[in-house]
Amino acid sequence: MAKEEIKKNTETPKVDEVPEMSDAESNEMMNKILNAFKEAATEVPQVEVSKEAEYIDKIARLQAEFDNSRKRMDKEKQEILLNANANLLTEILPTLDHFELALKHNKDPGVQMIYDELKETLAKYGLKVVNAKGTFNPNIHEAVVRVEGEKENVIVEEIQKGYFINERLLRASKVKVSRLKDTK
């Protein structure tokens, strides 16, 4: 009996079995069907728009991620280049020191010219001399000798030059630093 009822409910009614409706009922039924179609029609584009917006958002995020990756890679390349330059310049600094020693004891114009050219080339790659005058700064100076003086922590003499490479300390200046005289 249950199967027969299900069959009856799922079967399409035959034309002669459709109950008669008044014009008002027919119009009401037609409006309900039209409204259902309108709702269905407006819902479909919203789903498509949300998918479209989702894809646009995804593309925008991927573009931003790509830009960030490119910037990060450029920054890493710069750091690698800077470190490579720093390593090379660290190896060259003793040669620069030897030129300075040679010029201190011998004023040969040929040696002076080579020294000046080497300094100029190294400056192009960001090498700068650390200022070793004035007050002692432990961040850029290394105190190797302390001597008595009139003021505390004043640089008296530079023993070995220090250098920066592009605002980063490559080698600290080795200096003599004053300390106050003992008043005994």
75-91 exposure pattern, b = at least 16 Cβ within 10 A, e = fewer: eeeeeeeeeebbeebee
Beta strand residue intervals within the chain, DSSP E: 127-129, 141-149, 155-160, 163-165, 168-171, 173-180
Residue 16 DSSP one-character state: G
Characterize the bridge pairing of strands 141-149 and 168-171.
unpaired
Dist. CA 86–CA 88, nearest whole Å:
5
**Region 114-142: what's the mean pLDDT?**
93
CATH number of this structure's domain 127-184, picked from the four choices 3.40.309.10, 2.30.22.10, 1.25.40.90, 3.30.200.20? 2.30.22.10
Burial class, 112, CB count within 10 angstroms (exposed 0-12 / middle 13-18 / buried 19+): middle
Q: What is the pTM of this model?
A: 0.59
Q: Where are the domains of the chain?
A: 32-125, 127-184
The pLDDT tens digits of the residues spanning 82-110 come to 888 888 889 999 999 999 999 989 888 98
